[in-house]
Homo-oligomer: A and B are copies of this chain.
Amino acid sequence: MDKLNIDHHISRRFNVELEEIRSRVLAMGGMVETQIRNAITALVDGDTELAEEVIKNDANVNLAEVAIDEECSHIIARRQPAASDLRLIMTVIKTITDLERIGDQAERIARMAKRLAELERPKNQYVEISSLGEHVLKMLQNTLDAFARMDAEAAIEVAKEDKKVDIEYDAVMRQSLTYMLEDTRNITRMLDVMWSARAIERIGDHAKNICEYVIFLVKGKDVRHISIEQVEEELHSDSKKQ
């Protein structure tokens, strides 16, 4: 497959357009990152106002997705890109879908935050949620970095992190269940904690999806639906062959 070669185009204007699209994706990524951070802070601090802000802001994330999506269609229709350029635009279209869904999860966490703010605070101050949230936020930041630099190796590292997030998530779920069994008065609250943990874990899945698009874009291999260890092995055996 042709190598990724976004810096060389017959039309300089086309180059500028592709660069613009990439910046807009990164800006949307930053927006989504802030949404998650605020949603988790709202939950941990019981800050209803901040939660409301996150819920309101989700509309802006949605607008960003629709705008970038339209721009991609325009570029395809106008430039009729082939090979690596087309792959880049396809990657963008898929990436913004996942970013938008991450935004939905942030909104979901904010709604949970509003409900939890009305209940008694637990002794541990929802440390399990803030810790899982930090982990996933770091993962998303590294994902956006890998996207910005079109760095497949970095994307593989981030995708591998998703397993650790899943393990941490399982631990949160088990702990929450214990609290429920201990005292039925905990059930309602722990359900909201579980839903929030689930939403955060889903964000990790979406980040992993984006990493897989980056790997596909750079390496020209579709790595969805095969294990990351397998991807790593295949890509490295390829580079040895070259």
Contacts and interface: CB of A to CB of B under 8 A. Distances in A.
Interface of A: 59, 62-63, 65-66, 69-70, 73, 76-77, 80, 82-83, 86-87, 90, 93-94, 97, 177, 180-181, 184, 187-188, 191, 194, 222, 224-225
9 contacts: A62-B224, A62-B225, A65-B224, A66-B222, A73-B87, A76-B86, A80-B80, A80-B82, A97-B97
Contacts of A76: 76, 86
A77 B66 contact: no
Contacts of A73: 86-87, 90
Contacts of A181: 184, 187
A198 B63 CA distance: 27
Q: How many copies does the complex hold?
A: 2
Contacts of A80: 80, 82
A151 to B, nearest CB: 22
B87 A225 contact: no
Nearest to A185: B181
A111 to B, nearest CB: 13
Nearest to A70: B222
Given A76-B76, A187-B177, A225-B62, A90 B93 contact: yes
Contacts of A62: 224-225
Contacts of A93: 90, 93
B66 A225 contact: yes
B187 A59 contact: no
Contacts of A63: 225
